Structure 1
Amino acid sequence: MNTLEIKELQSPDEILEAFPILRQLRTHLDENTYLKLVIDAKEKDRYQMFALVDEDQIVAVTGFKPMITLYYGRFVWVCDLVTDYTVRSQGYGEKLLTYVHKWQKENNYESVALSSGLQRTDAHRFYENRMAYDKVSFVFKTSI
């Protein structure tokens, strides 16, 4: 029996349960730093984290936050989206991103945006071909 459920991760225990999946995307984070960053982002930056659960197992995780900028207007920024490498290409990422789209519409935001590492060509194909995202910019970063 297929029992897919999208669950908001709120408590520290729930957030920690998603760490093994999210670490596949954010390999630079240890568990303690991850938990501190998520809690801080939730408290100060309206970050929300959701897991797609199949048969009581987290199979995919997303984190996003609503934002307003002059370039995008009112939009939702997807900070994190990752499917467990053992179950990729089974539609889980699409289900979670579709959930973000639904959240965006229900909360009166105009669009959804995200960035993706240059090396993540499979993800780029997914965003452009499967989810109909347009490539609209490059993201630049510096550490000062």
Structure 2
Amino acid sequence: MQIGFVEDPAAIARSFELMSKLRPRLSREDYLAAVPRLMADGGYRLVALEEDGILRALAGIRVGEWLHTGRYLEVEDLVTAEAERSRGYGAALLRWIAEHGRRQGCRQLRLVSGVQRADAHRFYEREGMKHEARYFSMDLA
């Protein structure tokens, strides 16, 4: 099992299929344009878990900072291939991400998840995450 950052254009393109399982409304073209831009402008990083040359799990992360709590690592996207779930890939990727956050001086790992994703919420809680806030949004378009 290998875990590391996805940085080159070919690897980013290869990651689209798995990310599209989590983000089905995102076209391939938009994904391939957005990821490099987010990496350059916003500190976004893709992290992949591969085994036997197959992409098994993928995450999008970024370090942020809030006045009242300091530096944190945000998991913006986290997806494991459906056929690969319950095999420890998501847990291994989340542990790697947490350790990366510690190395970056982050005090907390955060993740926002849609209210409809009950199975994912059970996974996050099993991995030691707690439900501590409500997330509100307003469409501006």
> What TM-score do you get using the length of structure 1 for normalisation?
0.94
Give runs of aligned pairs for residues 100-115 of structure 1, distance below 5 A.
Answer: 100-115=97-112
Which of 8, 14, 17 does residue 17 from structure 1 map onto? 14
Partner of 2:128: 132
Q: Secondary structure at the match of 1:78?
A: strand
User: Structure 2 counterpart of 1:131, which letter?
Assistant: E
Which of 52, 65, 68 does residue 55 from structure 1 map onto? 52
Structure 2 residue 82 is the aligned partner of structure 1 residue 85: yes
- State the shift of 1:133 in Å: 0.7
| Identity across the alignment (%) | 31
Structure 2 residue 134 is the aligned partner of structure 1 residue 142: no
Structure 2 residue runs of 5 or longer lacking an equivalent are none
Counterparts of 2:105 and 2:39 in 1: how far apart (Å)?
Answer: 20
User: Structure 2 counterpart of 1:40, which letter?
Assistant: R
Counterparts of 1:111 and 1:54 in 2: how far apart (Å)?
Answer: 28
> What TM-score do you get using the length of structure 2 for normalisation?
0.96
Q: Which runs of 4+ in 1 moved over 6 A?
A: none
- State the shift of 1:102 in Å: 0.5
Counterparts of 1:138 and 1:50 in 2: how far apart (Å)?
Answer: 26
Partner of 2:92: 95
User: Structure 2 counterpart of 1:80, which letter?
Assistant: D
Count of residues in correspondence between the two structures: 140
Q: Secondary structure at the match of 2:131?
A: coil
List per-residue Cα deviations over 1:77-105 (Å, max 9, x = no partner): 10110000111111100011100111011
Which of 40, 44, 62 does residue 43 from structure 1 map onto? 40
List per-residue Cα deviations over 1:10-58 (Å, max 9, x = no partner): 0111111111111110011011101111111100111111110010000
Structure 1 residue runs of 5 or longer lacking an equivalent are none
Over aligned residues, Cα RMSD in angstroms?
A: 0.9
